[in-house]
Each structure stands twice: as C-alpha cells, then as structure tokens.
Amino acid sequence: MTAISIRGLVKAYGAKRAVDGLDLDIETGEVFALLGPNGAGKTTTVEILEGFRTADAGEVSVLGSDPHTANRLWRNRIGIVLQTSSGLDLLTPREILASTAHTYANPRSVEEVIAAVGLQEKADVRIAGLSGGQRRRLDVGLGIVGRPELLFLDEPTTGFDPQARRDFWGLIRTLASEGTTILLTTHYLDEAEHLADRVGVIAGGRLLALDTPANLGGRASEEATVAWLEDGERRTLRTATPTLEVSRLADRFGGEVPELVVSRPSLEDTYLTLIAPHVTQDDEGAPAATTTRKVPA
C-alpha cells in the first residue's frame, strides 16, 4: 500500500522553483530517506506533505488524504519532527510530553517515550537546561508520543553526539519494525545507509535518483578498488573481479598481502557524483546546521 503519493509537485517562491515537478511514491512500512544539497527542496516537499505549505501544482496524497484539507483525525495519524526546536523553556520534558500525549487518541505512555529517546536523567529538568542534542531528542519524543502511523523526521540527528545517533538509529529501527512508515531528510549519508529501505536524491526540486542505498546510482555493479603495499609503495587496481585479483596477489605474496584493502564507492561517493552537476552557487553544498524555521500554523 502507498502511504505517500506525489505527482507533478511544483512549489515556487517568486521566480525560484523550489520543487519542480516531483513524482514519488513511499510505501506503507517503508523507511525512506530524502537526500539532497542545501536548498534542494527537501523541506519544502516535506512541509507540503505535512500540510504546512500549499503546492502550486501537482497532486499529493498522504495516508489517503490531501494534507492541505485533511482533518484532525488525519493529523492524529502522523508525527512530525521539524528542524526547529520547541520553545517552551520553562516546562520539563515530562510535562510537555504529557500535555502533548493528551491531544492524541492513542498515545504512547510518557515513560515509554522518555526511555525511548534516552531522556530519563533529564525528564524533570527545565527544557532551558537541556543541551542542543537533548532538545533534539525531546523533539523526536514529541514526534512519536502520538503513536503515529507515519513519522516525518527533518534532519533528526543534527547536533547529536555519535552515541546518541546510534541510540536514535536503534529507536528508528524499532519504530520501523512496529510498522511505522518513516520519511526522513538527512545530510548524513551513513544515517541514510543505516536506516533507509530506499533513498531519493533531489536537487533543484527534481528527483535525480531513487533506489536502495546499496544500488543507488549503479553502486552495486561499480568496479571495486583493490589496494595493497608493495616495495614500500601503495598500489591500486580497479577491477570487476576483486576476488580473483586478491587470490592472484595472495599467490604472488605466498600468503598475506600487506595492507590489503578492497573497497567500492561509498554511498557518499555516489551521492556526490550524482549531485555534482546540480550544485550551483545558490547551494551551499555542505551539511546544514540545525536552523530555526517558523512553521506556518
């Protein structure tokens, strides 16, 4: 079943087409990562899907409804983690989670959410006293407290330390295994590789590539590079038959091949190759810091 269907989506700001004829389907239960350089149109697309922005042209269906006209019941079925952080500094995570849980028909328990996002130690501390990464965890907690069928995560782990990111990935895998459909945007290619069933790469508001992380841009069939040390020099060889080359090297060296490495293009290599022709001076081309964005009501 299709959770999200996008056909011919267009959104312009003045003369600038932020989304320029996007077609995309996301299946129920799928973890889908939307990748693209700064200004590619990811947030605009996601905010149209969330019902926060209106499209200029095209058709969008999210859980069977048009997000722009969808009712409160529909909103109950989705969870949203925006790029912005909550501004309720005087409340504690437990208080804000409890009051948010109240607005949903079938919420998760506050204790369960606090544990899931690893905020046990900070549950009763005022939000003003949380670090950036801890606030981000709270944002994620607020996104999942309503037990959404579909979860939107806009750059969810910006500002997380490496352990917090690993913990977060575990949480996403758990949610996915429970059947939650997840659409995330991220600038971290390792995050997409770890989490996503499929990735879509957009630039200039258009879809450049759509595939599993392993197959994106023909990655799986790319030649491998075999590298080793010989006579004090690093040698490399590109080959479609790396196993054969390694076995030849092993014969030649009579056993262990010094400093042997066999590698294929990383998802990041493939991604950078895909977007290179599309990165203009408008795009900053680098991972964005978490930005505060005013969300239209």
Ligand X SMILES: Nc1ncnc2c1ncn2[C@@H]1O[C@H](COP(=O)(O)OP(=O)(O)OP(=O)(O)O)[C@@H](O)[C@H]1O
Site residues for ligand X per CB under 6 A = 13, 16, 18, 36, 38-44, 288
Closer residue to ligand X, CB minimum distance, 220 or 295: 295
Q: How far apart are CA 223 and CA 184, in angstroms?
A: 30
Closer residue to ligand X, CB minimum distance, 18 or 78: 18
Closer residue to ligand X, CB minimum distance, 41 or 67: 41
Closer residue to ligand X, CB minimum distance, 133 or 205: 205
In angstroms, give the least distance from the CB of 275 to ligand X.
Answer: 11
Token pair for 240: 């479609």
Pair 141, 117: CB distance under 8 Å? yes
In angstroms, give the least distance from the CB of 222 to ligand X.
Answer: 26
- Count the Cβ atoms, other than its own, within 10 Å of residue 27: 13
In angstroms, give the least distance from the CB of 154 to ligand X.
Answer: 8
In angstroms, give the least distance from the CB of 184 to ligand X.
Answer: 12
Closer residue to ligand X, CB minimum distance, 203 or 249: 203
In angstroms, give the least distance from the CB of 38 to ligand X.
Answer: 3
The count of C-alpha atoms lying within 13 angstroms of the C-alpha of 283, restricted to the half-sphere facing its C-beta, is 21
List strand residue ranges (DSSP E) for the chain, in order.
2-13, 16-27, 31-35, 57-62, 78-81, 150-154, 181-185, 198-203, 206-211, 224-230, 233-239, 261-263
Q: Which residue, 198, 243, 165, is CA-closest to 3?
A: 198
As a residue count, the chain comes to: 297
